[in-house]
């Protein structure tokens, strides 16, 4: 589930496991082998995330840049490393821990300049204290594009993925296809603060739980349910099921090739005043 909170957790795990010590770097699968040989045994200074990007910092201003994409996975495990299983693109290891990377969209060795360039292209990251939500609002308030589309645009919001998109729009009763420029500033501010809170919770717990206390299974007298994305949600991947709040059917559609989920009653279609 590679949304921003996952990457921040991974950065912290990597720093804990490898920071401040030399790290063995290899590529059992082979696609990162040439770069791995260049940095094998380098001193690892730590790791940090920016949106959905992960940077493992090595001595000499060198960084291993990882983007998990849709299906990538990075397992950080304590203990001695066993023989690699499956397609392990990158393996990091020392005496006490190892990490295996599989299926990532990107795994490159880059310099500080390129790292800065990647970070500069990212929009407001709800998980960073230096985030600038005003920049995101400037883009949204001037855009004809839908808010569902803008939320997934990493140059507007960094780290927000399909689950947080679906859930934040539900929590604020905003239809995903509503044009960005029709939102009120207050709505944006409330959504931003909520994103910060939800994603910080995701970092602490490793789960995406978005259902308010009054709508939880316990409160509604339903059996507990936990989907394979690891959390309790209102609409994400609940199409065809009943809305937890109003009971009407959760809808689905695709927008820019990605699945969209919403409740038609709780998130009514926006009509401008001119139209009525």
Partner DNA sequence: TCAAGATGATCAG
Partner DNA sequence: TGATCCTCTTGAT
Among 89, 91, 178, 238, binds DNA (CB under 7 A): 89
Q: Compute the distance between CA of residue 234 and CA of residue 262 in angstroms, rounded to an integer.
A: 9
Q: How far is the CB of 62 from DNA (least distance, A)?
A: 21
Among 20, 38, 59, 105, binds DNA (CB under 7 A): 105
Question: Which span (39-47, 137-145, 252-260, 265-273) binds DNA, by CB under 7 A?
Answer: 252-260
**Which residue, 35 or 45, has its beta carbon nearer to DNA?**
35
Among 94, 175, 259, 264, binds DNA (CB under 7 A): 259
Q: What's the farthest any 2 CA atoms get from each other in the chain?
A: 67
Question: Which span (1-9, 15-23, 108-116, 217-225) binds DNA, by CB under 7 A?
Answer: 1-9
Among 148, 161, 176, 180, binds DNA (CB under 7 A): 161
Whether residue 226 lies in the annotated active site: no
Residues 6+ apart with CB under 8 A from 59: 42, 43, 45
Question: Which span (33-41, 70-78, 171-179, 268-276) binds DNA, by CB under 7 A?
Answer: 70-78
- Residue corresponding to tokens 């009407």: 248
- Residue corresponding to tokens 């397992």: 75
Q: Out of 28, 52, 139, 251, which one is annotated catalytic?
A: 52
Whether residue 52 lies in the annotated active site: yes
Whether residue 144 lies in the annotated active site: no
Two tokens, residue 118: 């990647």
Q: Compute the distance between CA of residue 46 and CA of residue 128 in angstroms, rounded to an integer.
A: 17
Two tokens, residue 156: 């507007």
Q: Is 35 a binder of DNA (CB under 7 A)?
A: no
Q: What single string gives the DSSP state of each residue in 179-215?
A: BGGGS-HHHHHHHHHHHHHHHHHHHHHSS-----GGG
Instruction: Find the DSSP H helices in the chain.
Output: 4-18, 33-39, 112-120, 133-141, 147-152, 162-171, 185-205, 217-220
Q: Is 139 a binder of DNA (CB under 7 A)?
A: no
Two tokens, residue 196: 């910060």
**Active site amino acids:** 2-3, 52, 258
Tell me which residues touch DNA (CB under 7 A). Answer: 1-3, 6, 29, 51-52, 67-73, 86-87, 89, 102-103, 105, 152, 154, 161-163, 228-230, 237, 256-259
């Amino acid at each position: 589930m590679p949304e921003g909170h996952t990457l921040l957790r991974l950065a912290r795990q990597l720093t804990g496991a490898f920071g401040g010590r030399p790290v063995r770097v290899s590529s059992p699968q082979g696609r990162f082998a040439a770069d791995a040989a260049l940095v094998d045994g380098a001193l690892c200074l730590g790791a940090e995330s920016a949106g959905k990007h992960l940077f493992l910092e090595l001595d000499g201003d060198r960084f291993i840049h990882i983007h998990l994409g849709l299906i990538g996975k990075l397992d950080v495990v304590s203990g001695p490393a066993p023989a690699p299983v499956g397609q392990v693109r990158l393996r990091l290891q020392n005496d006490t821990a190892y990490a295996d990377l599989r299926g990532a969209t990107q795994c490159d060795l880059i310099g500080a300049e390129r790292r800065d360039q990647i970070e500069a292209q990212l929009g407001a990251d709800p998980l960073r204290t230096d985030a600038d939500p005003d920049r995101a609002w400037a883009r949204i308030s001037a855009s004809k594009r839908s808010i569902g589309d803008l939320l997934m645009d990493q140059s507007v919001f960094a780290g927000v993925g399909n689950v947080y998109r679906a859930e934040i729009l539900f929590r604020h009763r905003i239809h995903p296809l509503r044009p960005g420029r029709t939102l009120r500033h207050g709505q944006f501010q409330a959504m931003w603060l909520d994103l910060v809170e939800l994603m910080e919770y995701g970092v602490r717990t490793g789960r995406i739980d978005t259902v308010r206390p009054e709508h939880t299974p316990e409160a509604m007298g339903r059996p507990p349910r936990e989907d394979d994305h690891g959390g309790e949600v209102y609409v994400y991947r609940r199409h065809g099921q009943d809305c937890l709040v109003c009971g009407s059917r959760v809808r689905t559609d695709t927008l820019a090739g990605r699945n969209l989920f919403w409740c038609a009653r709780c998130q009514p279609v926006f009509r401008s005043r001119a139209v009525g």
